[in-house]
């Protein structure tokens, strides 16, 4: 599979194509409309609960801030009024300092794993979510972290991880990722935004198959309904914390 090929040989092309289809997930079948897309609001501290998400919410219960060698923790300070029997997916948000970024993630691994295990005990939906935007240089640490979390979570608890959108175009991130669900965040995509939006909207087959089961969207950067409807589970972020004017969808 890793041997070189000669240009122009038909057999070679076949081998290349076979090689790609089996080895690179980006050419897997594109996402198709989900029978019923489940919409879940991400609730950060101080956020309200939009009515459409009353049955299930993703609640940020612990913040971890990595700044240089420091590992800082902050709990959720208040909980919005949740509907009876609301399904709660606890989320641990790990923030990396932009100005003084951590050298690696390894020094914070035990703290993050512990936070995830504690968060998992708070939930009642059978899921727990890790929200960590690792940098390319931290990929190995990140993958090891997710493996460790998965290994130490109860088998019945499913692990969801958010992902930067471009990870869906890079098998090095997704193939070894030991999560049960990958939630690519199709918002605040920076320099790649226009291109990635075009791919998400019109060429989803270019995205890894693991990115087809769930997706994260922002109220401030909406996609057409037929795009969001492709995903069985969608998570929604709102800059305005679900205040006035933000509940339209």
Partner 1 sequence: MLIPRSWRHASLALMLGLAAGGAIASGDVPYDIFVPRYASDVDPDRYDAGELGVVLPSYGRAFLYPAWRAIVLGREGLQRAPAKGLGDIFAGDRSAGWTDANAGAASDSETPLAAWLKASAPYAAPAREKLTEGMRKAADEYSQYLVCNESAFSFAVETLDRLAKRNDASPQRLRTWVEGQDKVFAICGVKEERAAIDAYPLGLPASETSFFWRQMRDYQTAAAAFYNGDFDDSARRFEAIGANPRSPMFVWGAYLALRSRARAADLDTTPATQRKEVDRKVAAQSALQKSNPTAYEAMRQAAYAALERETAARRARQLADLEARTRAILADPRLAEIHPAARGTLHTMQARLAPQARFDTLTAELDDPGADPYAESRFNDWRILADTFYDNNGVDKAVEAQARARHPFFDWIRGLQVCGQSVTVAGESEPPKENKGVREARERCRAEYAHALAQWQAAAPVSNGPDPRRAWLTAALMLADTLPPELEQAALAVPAQAPEYLTVRYNLARLYRLRGHAGQARAIGDEQLRNLRGEKPLSMAARNLFMQECFATAATVDEALGLLLRTPTFGIGSAALRYDADSPGARLPRPAGDGLRWLNGHLGNAELLAAADDQRLDAVTRAQLGVSAWLRADMLGQGELAAHAAGWVAVHVPMLKASAARYLGLPTLAQRRHALVLVMLDYQLHPYVDSHRTDITAKWEKQKDPSVVTASMWCKIDDDPYAYASESGVEQLPPALRISANPAARDHDIGLIKRSKTATGYVGHHVMAWAAAHPKDAQVPWLLSVVVSSTRGGCLDPGSSKLSRAAFVLLHAKYKNSEWTENTPYWY
Kindly tell me which of 23 and 32 has the beta carbon lying closer to partner 1: 23
We find the least distance from the C-beta atom of residue 209 to partner 1, in angstroms, to be 15
Q: Can you tell me the distance from the alpha carbon of 54 to that of 219, in angstroms, rounded to the nearest whole number?
A: 17
Least separation in angstroms between CB 103 and partner 1: 14
Of the CA atoms within 13 Å of residue 179, those in its CB half-sphere come to: 28
Residue closer to partner 1, measured from CB, 82 or 232? 82
Structure tokens at 219: 């109220």
The smaller minimum CB distance to partner 1, of residues 148 and 232, is found at: 148
* Residue (152 or 243) nearer to partner 1, CB: 243
Q: Give the containing element (helix H, strand E) for 115.
A: helix 109-122
Residues pairing with 234 in the sheet: 39, 215
Q: What's the CA gap between 178 and 175, in Å, rounded?
A: 8
As measured in angstroms, the least distance from the Cβ of 235 to partner 1 is: 14
End-to-end CA distance of the chain: 47
Least Cβ distance, residue 94 to partner 1 (angstroms): 11
Give SS3 for 229: coil
């Amino acid at each position: 599979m890793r041997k070189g090929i000669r240009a122009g040989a038909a057999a070679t092309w076949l081998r290349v194509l076979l090689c790609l289809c089996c080895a690179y997930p980006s050419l897997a079948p594109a996402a198709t409309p989900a029978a019923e897309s489940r919409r879940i609001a991400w609730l950060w501290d101080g956020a309200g609960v939009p009515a459409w998400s009353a049955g299930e919410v993703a609640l940020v219960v612990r913040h971890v801030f990595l700044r240089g060698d420091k590992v800082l923790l902050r709990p959720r300070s208040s909980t919005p009024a949740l509907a009876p029997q609301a399904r709660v997916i606890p989320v641990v948000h790990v923030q990396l300092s932009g100005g003084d970024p951590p050298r690696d993630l390894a020094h914070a691994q035990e703290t993050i794993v512990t936070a995830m295990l504690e968060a998992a005990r708070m939930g009642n939906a059978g899921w727990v979510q890790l929200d960590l935007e690792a940098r390319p240089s931290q990929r190995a640490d990140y993958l090891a972290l997710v493996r460790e979390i998965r290994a130490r979570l109860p088998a019945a608890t499913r692990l969801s991880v958010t992902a930067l959108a471009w990870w869906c175009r890079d098998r090095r991130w997704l193939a070894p990722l030991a999560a049960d669900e990958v939630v690519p965040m199709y918002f605040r995509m920076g320099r790649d935004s226009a291109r990635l939006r075009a791919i998400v909207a019109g060429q989803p087959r270019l995205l890894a198959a693991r990115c087809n089961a769930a997706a994260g969207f922002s109220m401030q950067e909406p996609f057409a309904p037929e795009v969001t409807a492709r995903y069985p589970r969608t998570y929604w972020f709102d800059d305005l914390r679900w205040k006035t004017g933000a509940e339209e969808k």
